[in-house]
Amino acid sequence: MKLILVPIVLLGFAATPAAAATTLTVASDGSATYRTVQAAVDAVPAGNTSRVTITIKAGTYRESVVIPSNKPYVTLEGLGSTAAATVIVNNKPASTAGTTGSATVYVQAKEFYGKNLTFSNDYDEAANGSSQALALALYGDRARLGNVRVVADQDTLLIYNSARAYVWSSYIEGTVDFIYGNGSAVFYACQIYEKRSSGGYITAANTPSTQTYGFLIYKSTITGAPSDLTYLGRPWGAAAQVTYRESSLSSTIKVAQPWTDMSGNSWKNARFYEYKNTGAGATTNSNRTQLTDAQAANYTPQKYLAGSDGWNPAG
Assigned CATH for 175-298:
2.160.20.10
Q: What is the DSSP string of the chain?
A: ----PPP-------PPP-TT-SEEEE-TTSSSSBSSHHHHHHHSPTT--S-EEEEE-SEEEES-EEE-TT--SEEEEE-SSSGGGEEEEE---HHHH-TGGG-SEEE-SSS-EEES-EEEE---HHHH------SEEE-SSSEEEES-EEE-SBS-EEE-TT-EEEEES-EEEESEEEEEESSEEEEES-EEEE--TT--EEEEE---TT-S--EEEES-EEEESSSS-BEEEEESSTT-EEEEES-EE-TTB-SS--B--BTTB-GGGSEEEEES-BSTT---STTS-B--HHHHTTSSHHHHH-TTTT--TT-
- pLDDT tens, 28-52? 999 999 999 999 999 999 999 999 9
pLDDT (0 to 100) of residue 150: 99
Same CATH fold assignment for domains 9-144 and 175-298: yes
* Domain range list for the chain: 9-144, 175-298
- pLDDT tens, 239-274? 999 999 999 999 999 999 999 999 999 999 999 999
Average pLDDT in the chain: 94
Residue 14 has pLDDT above 50, yes or no: no
Catalytically active residues are 155, 177
pLDDT (0 to 100) of residue 6: 38
pLDDT (0 to 100) of residue 314: 79
Residue 11 has pLDDT above 60, yes or no: no
- pLDDT tens, 62-92? 999 999 999 999 999 999 999 999 999 999 9
How large is the average pLDDT for residues 211-239? 98
The correct answer on CATH 2.160.20.10 for the domain covering 9-144 is yes
